[in-house]
C-alpha cells in the first residue's frame, strides 16, 4: 500500500479546495435539473416560466390577463423571446431581485395554490440566456403610474445577485404590467411538446385569458371566452401532517410563540389547543415551556407524536379549481369537439396538503385521436408523460367497462383533460414535468376519470341508439313493399293502400316496441332447439 | 287430440292475411301468431304413443327488426301457396323458393337468400292453418325407395307400378303419398323392412331378400322424408304390415327409428300421419356385437358428440323404456358404435343370409 500513500490527501488539504457554491453556480452546472436539457425544450421552458408568472400576477391582482408572446430567430439557433402581460407590474426596487437572484420570491415560504412556487423559474431563464448567448435580459415594468422602469441586467453567478447593466425610468406611457425580453440559444419545432402546444393548452386551461403568440410560423390568437376569473386561492399555514423534521425544526427555532402549545396552534393549520396538548403529552414535553427551551433531541419526539394523534384535516376551501364551466369552455373553444363531459371531485388531502382533481373529456368532431392534457395548478405539463400520476391513473382505469375502445389508454378520438390543483403539487423533480404518484392523488384521479368516462359512455349510447333507431326504421320501410304485395295477393285488397297502412303503423308505433331475438313467449334453450331441428326433424 | 285438417286452405290463407290488414287498420303492430315448433312445445302422448304439438304460440311481429324480414317472407310464402292452389298445379318447395326470390328494389337485398329460409315458413303455415303441405300443393324432392311384392297405383299419372319389377333403382316413393294420389294394390308382403342406408338397401335388393322373405324393403336414405314416413304409416295402418327398422348402432341411427316410430319434434303437428308407433327396431345394436361375434376392429370409438347426444336421448320421454335405456347405457359403457356395413366384415351376405333372418325369426327387437 506504500505507493498509494503518496496519493492520500489529508482532510485539511481537501478543505482548501472545498468552498461554498451559490445557487446560481449550482444551476450553471446542473441546469438539466430544471429541465434545460436540450435546445428545443429550453425555448418552451422560458416561455412557460414567463407566461406562468404573468398569469399568476394577473390573477392575484384580479385582472383578466392579456398575454403577448413573441419568438423570433435572430441568427442560427439563437432566439429573441418577448413576453408581456397586463398585470400589476413590479415595483422598481424589486425588479432586480425578482429577475436577478435565484430562489427570490415570497411564494416559496407560503402555501397557496400558484403556478410557480419556487422562485426559481424566471431567474433560471435569465441564467440560461446569459449562459448560452452572454446577452442580458431587458425588463420593462410599470405599475400604472405613468412611469416605466427599464432594466438591462445579468445575474452575478458567484453572489446570486443582479448585475445591473442599464437602468432608466421612462415616462409618457400609461400601462401596467411587465415585459421581459430574453436572447437565448434554442431550436424551434412545432411538434407535440412545442411552445405552440404549450400556449394552446394554456389557453384551454385559462379561457379567461387572451393569449397572442407570434411565432416563427405565424401569429396565433387564443381569444378569451369567459370574462370572469376563477375564485382567488387562499394562503394557509402548513398542516403538521405534511411537515418533516427539517422544516419543523426551522419553524420551531424561528417562531415568536411563547410556548410550544401556542407554537403548534399558531404556526400550523387546523391545530387546536387540545391537539397541541396531546402532541406534547405523547412526546413527553411540557407544553408550557418556551420553544427555545425544547432540546434538539426532543424535536424528533414532537414530529413523531404529531403522527400518532388524531388530526383535523386542513381546510380545503383554499383551492381555486377551474370549475366545470371553465373546463368545458376551454375544451370547446380550442378543440371543437362533438361533446364534453366534465367532473370536479371534492377537495381531498395528501400528506396534509389539500388538493383537488378536475377531469374533462372532449370527444369527437375535430378530435381525431387520443391525447392527454395534463395540468398542475393550470400549467400544462408537456414532458415526462409516462412518469406522471395522471398517465399512470389513466392506465389503471378499465375504459372498456365504459364501452370505450382502449389498449390500456383509450384509443377513441378524445382528449382527456386532467387538472390537479393544490397548495403544493408534488412534482417528481424540480423541472415540474410530472406529478408524483401519491396513492391519495391517484385514487382521486381515477375516480374522476371513471365518472367522466361514464358520462361519455352515456352520451355515446344515446348517439348509437339514435343511429340504431334510424337503421330500424329503414328496415321497416325496406320490407313494406313486398309485404303489402303479398297481403294484397292474399286478400285482393289494394297493395298501395296496404303499404300506406304499414308506413303509417311504422311512423306511429315503431318507437313503442322493443326488438327481441326470440319469437317465443317463453324463454327457450336456443341451442337445444337448433340441435333438435337439425337432427330430429330434417327431411329433404 | 288431432284436429280435423283443412283440405282446402285457401280460405285460411285469406283469413290469415285479412287478420293482419285488420291490425294495420287499427294502427297495431302486425302480429302473426304461430305455433311454437320446438322441444319447448311438444309432449309425448301416452295414448297414441306419438310426439304431439303443444299449444304454445309465438308472435312474429312486423315492428321488431329481428322479425320483419321473416314476417315479409311468411306473407310471401302464404301468397305463393295461394297462387299454386288457384292454378291447380303442384310444385316443389324448391320451385316455390325460386318463384319468390327477387331483389327488393332500392335496397339491393334478396327476398330470400336460400331455400333454408323458405322451407321452415311452409311448415309454419301448415301448422298455423292446421293444414298439410300436400294440401298446399307442395312437394319435396323424392328421396325414398321401395322394392317388393306390391303394386302401387298413381291415378294422376294413370299408372300401376309393380314394385317387384323395378330393377336396381326400385320404386321411387313420391313426396306426396296421400290416398288420392298413391293407392295400394295386390300387396303380398308379410312385413316391411326399412334400412337406414341406400347401400344396404341395394344389397337387400340384389340378394332378392324381399323375394326370399316375402317383404317390402324400403330406405329413406338417412333420415326419411315426409313421403317415405307417410308411406310407412299407411302400409302399417291400411295393410296392417309389421314395420321393422334397421339402422346403424349409433345415436343418429336410433333417432331415425324414433322419428319413424313417434314422429319428430319439428313436425310434431303431423305426427299422426307420419309416425308409426307400432314400428319395431330390428338392429343394429351394440349388444349384437357379442351376439353375432362381430370383430371389435370394425367398431368405432364414441366421440364427445355421440356421448352428449346419447345423454339427450336418455332424457327424451319416448326413450324411457328399459330395453332402450339398457342399449344406450351399454353403448356408453363399451364406448363404441358401429355401422350396418360392419356386418360385411363377417361376409358380404352375412346381413341378408344370417343377421336379418335370425333377428326376425327370434323376434329379437327393441320396442
pLDDT digit string, tens, across residues A313-357: 787 778 888 889 889 988 998 899 999 999 999 888 888 788 999
Between CA A351 and CA A241 the distance in angstroms is: 6
d(CA A33, CA A29): 10
B186 and B218, same domain (yes or no)? yes
Largest CA distance in chain B: 72
Q: Is residue B119 less than 8 Å (CB to CB) from chain A?
A: yes
CB atoms B104 and A481 under 8 Å: yes
Please give the average per-residue pLDDT across B209-237, as a whole number: 93
Give the per-residue pLDDT at B139: 82
DSSP H/E element including B58: strand B57-61
Chain B residues touching A519 at Cβ < 8 A: 34, 58-60, 67
Number of C-alpha atoms within 13 angstroms, CB side, residue B123?
Answer: 25
Q: What is the pLDDT of residue A524?
A: 38
For residue B366, being part of any structural domain is answered with no
- B141 contacts in A (CB within 8 Å)? 540
Cα separations in angstroms, B347 against A202, B293, B344: 94, 12, 5
How large is the average pLDDT for residues A378-382? 89
Q: Is pLDDT of B244 > 50?
A: yes
Q: Which of B139, B171, B190 is the last residue of a domain?
A: B139
The pLDDT assigned to A526 comes to: 38
Surface of A (475-534) touching B: CB under 8 A = 475-476, 478-479, 481-483, 485-487, 489-491, 493, 498, 501-502, 504-506, 508-510, 512-522, 524-525, 528-529, 531-533
Q: Do B265 and A537 touch (CB under 8 A)?
A: yes
Query: Which residues touch A443 (CB under 8 Å, ≥6 apart)?
Result: none
Residues 6+ apart with CB under 8 A from A218: none
CA distance A336 to chain B (A): 36
Per-residue confidence (pLDDT) for residue A409, from 0 to 100: 93
DSSP run (H or E) holding A262: helix A260-267
What are B306's three cell numbers? 355421440
Among A349-353, B141-145, B291-295, name the one with the lowest average pLDDT: A349-353
CA A276 to chain centre: 35
- Output the furthest CA–CA distance in chain A (Å, rounded): 123
CATH number of the domain encompassing residue B193 = 3.40.1360.10
**Which run of H or of E encompasses A360?**
strand A353-363
Q: Touching check for B223 and chain A: CB below 8 Å? A: yes
Name chain B contacts of A517, Cβ cutoff 8 Å: 66
Residue with cell 424540480: A430
Asked if residue B134 and residue B18 are part of one domain, the reply reads yes
CB contacts under 8 A, B 172-191 vs A, are none
* 3-class DSSP state of A167: strand
* Total domains in the fold of chain B: 2
Residues of chain A with Cβ-Cβ distance to B76 below 8 Å are 482-483, 486
The CA distance from A254 to A251, in Å, is: 5
Q: What is the reported pLDDT for A518?
A: 57
Give A10-67 pLDDT, tens digit per residue. 777 666 665 556 667 777 777 777 778 888 888 998 999 899 889 988 988 999 999 9
Q: What is the band of B3 on the pLDDT scale with cuts at 50, 70, 90?
A: low
What is the DSSP secondary structure assignment for residue B108, as one 8-state letter?
A: T
B269 touches chain A (CB under 8 A): no
pLDDT reading at B218 higher than 50: yes
On average, the pLDDT of chain B sits at 90
**Contact status, residue B63 vs residue B31, Cβ threshold 8 Å:** no
Instruction: Average the pLDDT over B49-62 and give the result.
Output: 89
Q: B37 or A362: which carries more pLDDT confidence?
A: A362
Contact B63 A490 (CB under 8 A): no
Q: What is the CATH number of the domain that holds B24?
A: 1.10.10.10
B215: left (phi over 0), alpha (psi -120 to 50) or beta: beta
pLDDT in tens, A218-229: 999 999 988 888
In a domain, B5, yes or no: no
Q: Looking at the structure, tell me whether residues B102 and B226 fall in a common domain.
A: no
Asked whether the beta carbons of residue B78 and residue A476 sit closer than 8 angstroms, the reply is no
Would you call B266 and A522 a contact, using CB atoms and an 8 Å cutoff?
Answer: no
pLDDT given for residue A104 in this prediction: 59
CA distance B344 to B292: 12
Q: Which of B40, B66, B76 sits opposite A517 (nearest CB)?
A: B66
Residue B98 a catalytic site member: yes
Q: Specify the pLDDT at position A118.
A: 55
User: With contact defined as beta carbons under 8 Å apart, do B151 and B186 qualify?
Assistant: yes
Q: Which residue of A has its CA nearest to B119?
A: A540
In-domain check, residue B3: no
B79: phi then psi, degrees, rounded to nearest 5: -65, -40
| Number of helices (H), then strands (E), in chain B | 14, 19
CB < 8 Å to B82, chain A = 489-490
Q: Which of A228, A242, A229, A246 is nearest to A271 (CA)?
A: A242
User: What pLDDT does residue A433 have?
Assistant: 86
Domain boundary among B73, B107, B139: B139
Q: What is the mean pLDDT of residues B207-213?
A: 92
If asked whether residues B122 and B149 sit together in one domain, one would say no
Each residue of B336-366: pLDDT tens digit? 999 999 988 888 889 988 999 999 999 889 8
Q: What local confidence, expressed as pLDDT, does residue A462 receive?
A: 86
Question: What is the per-residue pLDDT across A122-158, written as a single tens digit (0 to 9) for each?
Answer: 888 888 898 889 899 999 999 988 899 999 998 887 7
Higher pLDDT, B333 or A531: B333
C-alpha span between B169 and B43 (Å, rounded): 38
CB contact under 8 A, B38 and A502: no
Instruction: Tell me the percentage of chain A whose pLDDT exceeds 70.
Output: 89
Residues contacting residue A393 through CB under 8 Å, at least 6 positions apart = A442, A445, A446, A449
Quick one: B342 and B231 in the same domain?
A: yes
Residue with the larger pLDDT of the pair A327 and A523: A327
d(CA B269, CA A227): 78
B253/A124 Cα distance (integer angstroms): 91
- pLDDT tens track for B177-203: 889 889 999 899 999 999 999 999 999
Q: Average pLDDT of A257-266? A: 89
Q: Which of residues 298-327 of B touch A (CB under 8 A)?
A: 309, 312
CA-based R_g, chain B, Å:
23
Kindly tell me if the per-residue pLDDT of A117 is higher than 60. no
Considering CB atoms only, which of B34, B56, B68 is closest to A479?
A: B68
Q: Residue B117 domain-assigned?
A: yes
pLDDT class for A105, splitting at 50, 70, 90? low
Q: What is the ipTM of this complex?
A: 0.80
Give the contacts of A153 (CB within 8 A, at least 6 positions apart): A96, A99, A100, A126, A136, A137, A139, A162, A163, A164, A165, A166
CA-CA distance, A125 to B110, in Å (whole number)?
A: 73
Helix axes A323-335 and A195-205, enclosed angle (nearest 10):
140
Structural domains of chain A ordered from first start:
23-222 (3.30.565.10), 240-308 (1.10.8.50), 323-451 (3.30.230.10)
In this prediction the pTM is 0.56
Does B281 fall in a domain?
yes
Residues B105 and B240 placed together within one structural domain of the fold: no
pLDDT at position A517: 60
In this structure, of A158-167, A439-448, B268-277, the range with the lowest mean pLDDT score is A158-167
Q: To probe the interface with A, which of B72, B134, B173 has the most A CB atoms within 10 Å?
A: B72
**What average pLDDT does this structure show over A204-213?**
92
B218 located within any domain = yes
Assign A75 to helix, strand or coil: strand
A463 inside 8 A of chain B by CB: no
Average pLDDT estimate for B30-34: 90
CA distance A490 to chain B (A): 5
Following DSSP, what letter does each residue of B174-198 receive, concatenated?
A: PS---TTT-EEE----SEEEEES-H
**DSSP calls for A153-165:** EEEETTTTEEEEE
- Of the residues B78, B111, B139, the one at which a domain ends: B139
Q: Give me the pLDDT at residue B259, please.
A: 94
Q: What is the CA radius of gyration of chain A?
A: 32
Average pLDDT, chain A: 84
Subunit contact A476:B16, Cβ cutoff 8 A? no
Q: Is residue B367 part of a domain?
A: no
Q: Which of residues 271-290 of B touch A (CB under 8 A)?
A: none
Are B219 and B356 contained in the same domain?
yes
Q: Considering B43, B62, B98, B255, which one is annotated as catalytic?
A: B98
Same domain, B168 and B282: yes
State yes or no: pLDDT of A261 exceeds 60: yes
Q: Does the pLDDT of residue A400 top 70, yes or no?
A: yes
The verdict on B218 and B93 lying in the same domain is no
Q: How far is CA A369 from CA A403, A459, B6, in A?
A: 17, 18, 66
Closest alpha carbon within chain B to A518: B66
Which among A487, A492, A516, A527 is the top mutation candidate for probing chain B, defined by the most B β-carbons within 10 Å of its own β-carbon?
Answer: A487
Contacts of residue B180, Cβ cutoff 8 Å, sequence gap at least 6: B155
A238 vs A366, higher pLDDT: A366
Query: For residue B222, what is the nearest residue in chain A, using CA coordinates?
Result: A539
pLDDT in tens, A415-433: 999 999 998 888 887 778 8
Residue B232 shares a structural domain with residue B249: yes
Best A490, A496, A507, A528 residue to mutate vs chain B (most B CBs within 10 Å): A490
Backbone angles phi, psi at A365, to 5 degrees: 55, -110
Instruction: Select the more confidently predicted residue: A105 or A159.
Output: A159
The reply to whether B196 and B303 lie within a common domain is: yes
Share of chain B above pLDDT 90, in %: 57
| pLDDT for residue A415 | 94
Inter-chain touch B56–A478, beta carbons under 8 Å: no
Examine residue B39 and state whether it is found in any structural domain, yes or no. yes
Q: Which three cell numbers stand for residue B228?
A: 317415405
A462-471, A500-509, B154-163, B301-310, range with the lowest pLDDT: A462-471
Residue B89 sits at the chain A interface (C-beta within 8 Å)? no
Whether residue B192 is found in the same domain as residue B332: yes
Please report residues of B whose CB lies closer than 8 A to that of A528.
Answer: 39
- Among all residues of chain B, which has the CA nearest to that of A485? B76
pLDDT bin (cut points 50, 70, 90) of residue A522 is very low
In degrees and rounded to multiples of 5, residue A67 shows phi and psi of -115, 135
Range of the structural domain that residue B14 is part of: 10-139
Of B63, B225, B264, the CB nearest to A536: B264
pLDDT at A22: 66
Q: How far apart are CA B78 and CA B17, in angstroms?
A: 8
Amino acid at each position: 500500500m506504500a505507493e498509494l500513500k503518496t496519493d492520500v490527501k489529508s482532510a485539511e488539504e481537501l478543505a482548501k479546495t472545498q468552498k461554498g457554491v451559490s445557487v446560481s453556480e449550482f444551476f450553471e452546472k446542473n441546469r438539466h435539473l430544471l429541465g434545460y436539457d436540450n435546445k428545443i425544450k429550453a425555448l418552451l421552458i422560458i416561455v412557460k416560466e414567463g407566461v406562468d408568472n404573468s398569469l399568476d400576477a394577473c390573477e392575484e391582482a384580479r385582472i383578466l390577463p392579456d398575454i403577448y408572446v413573441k419568438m423570433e430567430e435572430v441568427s442560427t439557433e439563437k432566439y429573441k423571446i418577448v413576453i408581456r402581460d397586463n398585470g400589476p407590474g413590479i415595483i422598481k426596487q424589486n425588479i432586480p431581485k425578482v429577475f436577478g437572484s435565484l430562489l427570490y420570491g415570497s411564494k416559496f415560504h407560503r402555501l397557496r395554490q400558484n403556478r410557480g412556487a419556487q422562485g426559481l423559474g424566471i431567474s433560471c431563464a435569465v441564467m440560461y440566456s446569459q449562459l448560452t448567448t452572454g446577452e442580458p435580459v431587458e425588463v420593462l415594468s410599470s405599475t400604472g403610474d405613468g412611469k416605466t422602469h427599464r432594466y438591462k441586467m445579468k445575474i452575478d453567478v458567484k453572489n446570486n445577485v443582479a448585475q445591473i447593466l442599464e437602468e432608466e425610468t421612462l415616462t409618457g406611457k400609461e400601462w401596467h404590467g411587465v415585459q421581459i425580453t430574453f436572447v437565448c440559444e434554442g431550436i424551434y419545432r412545432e411538434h407535440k411538446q412545442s411552445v405552440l402546444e404549450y400556449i394552446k393548452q394554456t389557453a384551454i386551461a385559462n379561457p379567461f385569458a387572451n393569449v397572442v403568440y407570434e411565432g416563427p410560423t405565424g401569429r396565433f390568437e387564443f381569444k378569451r371566452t369567459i370574462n370572469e376569473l376563477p375564485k382567488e386561492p387562499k394562503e394557509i399555514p402548513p398542516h403538521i401532517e405534511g411537515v418533516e423534521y427539517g422544516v419543523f425544526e426551522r419553524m420551531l427555532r424561528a417562531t415568536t410563540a411563547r410556548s410550544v402549545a401556542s407554537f403548534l396552534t399558531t404556526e400550523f393549520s387546523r391545530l387546536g389547543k387540545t391537539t397541541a396538548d396531546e402532541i406534547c403529552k405523547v412526546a413527553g414535553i411540557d407544553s408550557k415551556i418556551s420553544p427555545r427551551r425544547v432540546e434538539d433531541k426532543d424535536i424528533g419526539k414532537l414530529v413523531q407524536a404529531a403522527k400518532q394523534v388524531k388530526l383535523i384535516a386542513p381546510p380545503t376551501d383554499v383551492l381555486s379549481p377551474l370549475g366545470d364551466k371553465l373546463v368545458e369552455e376551454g375544451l370547446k373553444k380550442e378543440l371543437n369537439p362533438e361533446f364534453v363531459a366534465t367532473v370536479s371531485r371534492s377537495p381531498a388531502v395528501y400528506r396534509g396538503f389539500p388538493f383537488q382533481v378536475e377531469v374533462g373529456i372532449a370527444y369527437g368532431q375535430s378530435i381525431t385521436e387520443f391525447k392527454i392534457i395534463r395540468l398542475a395548478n393550470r400549467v400544462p405539463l408537456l414532458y415526462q408523460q409516462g412518469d406522471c400520476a395522471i398517465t399512470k391513473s389513466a392506465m389503471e382505469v378499465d375504459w372498456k367497462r365504459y364501452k370505450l375502445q382502449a389498449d390500456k389508454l383509450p384509443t377513441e378520438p378524445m382528449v382527456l383533460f386532467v387538472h390537479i390543483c393544490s397548495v403544493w403539487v408534488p412534482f417528481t423533480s424540480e423541472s415540474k414535468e410530472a406529478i408524483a404518484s401519491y396513492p391519495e392523488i391517484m385514487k382521486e384521479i381515477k375516480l374522476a376519470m371513471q365518472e367522466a368516462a361514464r358520462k361519455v359512455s352515456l352520451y355515446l349510447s344515446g348517439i348509437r341508439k339514435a343511429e340504431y333507431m334510424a337503421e330500424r326504421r329503414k328496415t321497416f320501410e325496406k320490407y313494406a313493399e313486398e309485404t303489402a304485395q303479398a297481403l294484397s295477393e292474399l286478400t285482393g285488397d289494394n297493395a298501395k293502400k296496404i303499404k300506406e297502412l304499414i308506413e303509417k303503423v311504422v311512423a306511429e308505433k315503431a318507437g313503442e316496441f322493443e326488438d327481441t331475438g326470440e319469437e317465443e313467449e317463453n324463454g327457450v334453450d336456443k341451442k337445444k332447439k337448433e340441435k333438435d331441428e337439425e337432427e330430429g326433424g330434417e327431411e329433404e | 287430440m288431432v284436429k280435423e285438417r283443412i283440405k282446402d286452405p285457401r280460405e285460411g290463407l285469406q283469413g290469415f292475411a285479412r287478420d293482419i290488414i285488420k291490425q294495420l287498420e287499427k294502427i297495431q303492430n302486425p302480429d302473426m301468431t304461430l305455433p311454437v315448433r320446438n322441444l319447448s312445445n311438444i309432449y309425448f302422448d301416452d295414448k297414441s304413443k306419438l310426439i304431439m304439438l303443444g299449444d304454445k304460440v309465438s308472435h312474429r311481429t312486423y315492428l321488431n327488426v329481428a322479425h320483419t324480414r321473416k314476417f315479409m317472407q311468411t306473407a310471401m310464402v302464404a301468397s305463393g301457396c295461394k297462387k299454386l292452389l288457384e292454378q291447380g298445379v303442384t310444385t316443389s318447395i324448391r320451385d316455390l323458393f325460386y318463384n319468390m326470390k327477387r331483389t327488393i328494389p332500392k335496397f339491393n337485398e334478396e327476398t330470400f337468400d336460400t331455400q333454408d329460409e323458405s322451407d321452415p315458413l311452409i311448415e309454419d303455415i301448415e301448422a298455423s292453418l292446421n293444414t298439410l303441405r300436400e294440401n298446399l300443393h307442395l312437394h319435396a324432392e323424392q328421396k325414398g325407395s321401395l322394392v317388393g311384392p306390391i303394386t302401387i297405383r298413381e291415378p294422376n299419372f294413370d299408372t300401376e307400378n309393380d314394385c317387384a319389377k323395378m330393377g336396381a333403382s326400385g320404386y321411387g316413393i313420391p313426396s306426396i303419398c296421400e290416398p288420392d294420389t298413391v293407392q295400394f294394390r295386390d300387396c303380398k308382403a308379410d312385413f316391411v323392412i326399412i334400412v337406414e342406408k341406400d347401400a344396404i338397401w341395394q344389397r337387400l335388393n340384389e340378394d332378392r331378400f324381399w323375394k326370399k322373405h316375402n317383404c317390402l324393403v324400403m330406405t329413406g336414405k338417412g333420415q326419411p322424408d315426409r313421403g317415405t314416413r307417410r308411406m310407412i304409416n299407411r302400409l302399417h295402418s291400411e295393410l296392417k304390415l309389421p314395420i321393422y327398422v334397421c339402422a346403424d348402432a349409433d345415436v343418429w341411427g336410433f333417432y331415425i327409428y324414433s322419428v319413424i316410430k313417434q314422429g319428430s319434434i319439428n313436425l310434431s303437428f303431423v305426427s299422426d300421419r307420419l309416425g308409426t308407433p307400432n314400428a319395431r327396431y330390428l338392429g343394429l345394436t351394440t349388444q349384437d356385437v357379442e351376439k353375432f361375434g362381430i370383430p371389435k376392429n370394425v367398431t368405432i370409438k364414441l366421440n364427445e358428440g355421440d356421448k352428449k347426444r346419447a345423454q339427450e336421448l336418455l332424457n327424451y320421454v319416448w326413450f324411457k323404456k328399459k330395453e332402450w335405456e339398457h342399449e344406450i347405457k351399454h353403448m356408453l359403457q363399451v364406448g363404441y358404435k358401429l355401422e350396418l356395413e360392419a356386418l360385411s366384415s363377417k361376409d358380404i351376405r352375412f346381413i341378408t343370409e344370417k343377421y336379418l333372418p335370425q333377428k326376425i325369426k327370434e323376434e329379437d327387437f327393441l320396442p
